[in-house]
């Protein structure tokens, strides 16, 4: 199980906000969703990609998950 510090999550959110043109609170909410999926593993990760895209159709959910994984040093399966 991966647990991330607030600092790590804030940094990932800042990166996502810039890359996906989001405001900081929205980016942090989506990063938290993805980080939780990383902790849960399995289908939760692909579900998170769908959830991200559902919340903001302008974002490719898979790209967002990949970006957060890079920011947090998570190795996607």
Q: Is residue 77 part of a domain?
A: no
CA 25 to chain centre: 13
As a whole number of angstroms, the distance between CA 39 and CA 55 comes to 21
Domain residues for the domain of 37 are: 6-72
3-state secondary structure of 1: coil
As a whole number of angstroms, the distance between CA 77 and CA 56 comes to 24
pLDDT at position 2: 61
Q: Is residue 1 part of a domain?
A: no
How confident is the model over 54-76, as pLDDT tens digits? 999 999 999 999 999 999 999 99
User: pTM of the entire structure?
Assistant: 0.94
Domain count, the chain: 1
Tell me the DSSP string of 21-56: T--HHHHHHHHHHHHHHHHH-THHHHHHHHHHHHH-
User: pLDDT 10s digit of each residue in the chain, 77 long?
Assistant: 468 999 999 999 999 999 999 999 999 999 999 999 999 999 999 999 999 999 999 999 999 999 999 999 999 98
């Amino acid at each position: 199980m991966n647990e991330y510090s607030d600092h790590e999550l804030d940094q990932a959110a800042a990166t996502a906000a810039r890359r996906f043109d989001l405001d900081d609170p929205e980016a942090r909410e989506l990063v938290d969703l993805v980080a939780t999926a990383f902790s849960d593993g399995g289908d939760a990760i692909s579900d998170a990609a769908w959830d991200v895209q559902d919340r903001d159709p302008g974002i490719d959910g898979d790209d967002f998950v990949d970006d957060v994984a890079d920011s947090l040093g998570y190795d996607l399966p």
